[in-house]
Amino acid sequence: MLKYELSIVNYRTRIVSSLSDIGQTTWDTLIAAQAERNPFLSFAFLDALHESGCASPDSGWQPQYVTLWHGEQLEAALPLYVKSHSYGEYVFDWAWADAYRRSGLDYYPKLLSAIPFTPVAGSRLLARTADAAQKLIAALCALQKNNGISSTHILFPPESQAKALKDHGFLLRSGVQFHWINQDYRHFDDFLSTLERKKRKNIRAERRKVHEAGIRFRHVRGVAASEADWRFFKRCYDRTYAQHYSTPYLNLAFFRRIGETMPEHILLIIAEQDSKPIAASLVVHDENTLYGRYWGAIDDVPCLHFETAYYQPLEFCIDNGIRCFEGGAQGEHKMARGFLPQKTWSAHWLAHPAFADAVERFLKQEAGGIDAYIDELEERNPFKQA
């Protein structure tokens, strides 16, 4: 547990190790007041991660949320974890940890503000007012210094919050994701007509291969997902990790829980061949954005990944008027399917002055490379008008 003693004018501060100590109504009311919100910030999603054991002290994710209260009203909060490793973050600091180790210093435990296992941008400084946001940063700065923490990392905040953290001594880092934007398309062919001829031809060929293999799809809303659907999806999800010689982060209890507690945001896309399921993807969505999350298959069919994880969700976006499809971490191949590069942000504070200087020099050099990379990608824009 973090030690925490701080007096902030007009606010009572409190470290919270369980969202149940705040309550769903209180938490979700604060989230509703944020301009940059998404389903991953909801009580239902975060509580599912914690209560299923996926993001818990036993898994190296110890919740220590910083909260500011005015009377009984929650005025601000920062989702914060004490981390004993760097898995499940998608902003990589392994080299920094190794440099600490080689110097005889402890990099872990560190502080991390992020949605566990979820590289989705959104508000991290959850505050009702600008004053509360500033006081929340002040509370974080006092917390990290008073506990002998090696470093603090705020992952995927909006640019405005990243810059606010910079004003308090944080170093900024940029990255790249790929997002698809709905230009009021009426149907999938309407979208295809905006692409260069070669890109359009390749997508049609990929979709044709899947259709000719006899693959059909079921779109299962969270409220309709059965126990068999979730078990099959988990089987697919686990196989994806096994193919990459990795260990899955999420368990069946987590998937069941979000299906039960936030079904309006959940869509399972299940591919079937001869009436038997062979692949599945899970996407999370609200009225404006769809987030590509997890995919897997138990049989290998050419182009099935593209159809299940990209083209079927794209059709869902078009049919439901969803404005943006965030494709998840990395994936330059997404550009050929209409996704364009978007800059992401993270903010980092390191206690050791020499390491902070070294990381700052590295980040300046890396930022130039990221900007050049985005310029290069934009020259390969897949749309005809580009």
Question: Do 73 and 96 touch, CB atoms closer than 8 A?
Answer: no
pLDDT at 331: 80
> In 84-226, where do the E strands start and end?
110-113, 126-127, 151-155, 171-181, 215-221
Structure tokens at 149: 């923490």
Distance CA 303, CA 308 (A): 9
Q: Are β-strands 12-16 and 65-70 bridged in parallel, bridged antiparallel, or unpaired?
A: antiparallel
- For residue 384, what pLDDT is reported? 78
Centroid of chain to Cα 89: 9
Alpha-carbon span 295 to 115, nearest angstrom: 19
- Distance separating alpha carbons of residues 295 and 282, to the nearest angstrom: 6
Integer Cα distance of 149 and 145 in angstroms: 7
CA–CA distance, 99 with 107 (Å, rounded to integer): 9
SS3 (DSSP) at 119: coil
Residue 173: CB atoms within 10 Å? 21
Left (φ > 0), alpha (ψ -120 to 50) or beta: where does 275 sit? left
d(CA 41, CA 118): 11
How big is the CA angle at 104 (ends 102 and 108), to the nearest 5 degrees? 90
Q: Is the dihedral of CA 351, 357, 363, 366 positive or negative?
A: negative
CA atoms within 13 A on the CB side of 248: 20
Q: What is the pLDDT of residue 6?
A: 62
- Alpha-carbon distance of 120 to 145, in angstroms, equals 28
The rounded distance, in Å, linking the Cα atoms of 153 and 350 is 9
One-letter amino acid of 68: L
Long-range CB contacts for residues 97-102, cutoff 8 Å, separation at least 24: 99/355, 99/358, 100/150, 100/352, 100/355
On whether the CB atoms of residues 284 and 250 are closer than 8 A, the answer is no
Model pTM greater than 0.75? yes
What pLDDT does residue 89 have? 96
Length of the chain: 386
Q: What whole-number distance in Å separates Cα of residue 273 and Cα of residue 13?
A: 56
pLDDT (tens place) for every residue of the chain, 386 residues total:
676 656 677 889 999 999 999 999 999 999 999 988 999 999 999 999 999 999 999 999 999 999 999 999 999 999 999 999 999 999 999 999 999 999 999 999 999 999 999 999 999 999 999 999 999 999 999 999 888 899 999 999 999 999 999 999 999 999 999 999 999 999 999 999 999 999 999 999 999 999 999 999 999 999 999 999 999 999 999 999 999 899 999 999 999 999 999 999 999 999 999 999 999 999 999 999 999 989 999 999 999 999 999 999 999 999 999 999 998 877 888 999 999 999 999 999 999 999 999 999 999 999 999 999 999 999 999 997 75
Q: Where are the beta strands (DSSP E) in 103-223?
A: 110-113, 126-127, 151-155, 171-181, 215-221
Count CB neighbours of 59 within 10 A: 18
What pLDDT does residue 382 have?
A: 93
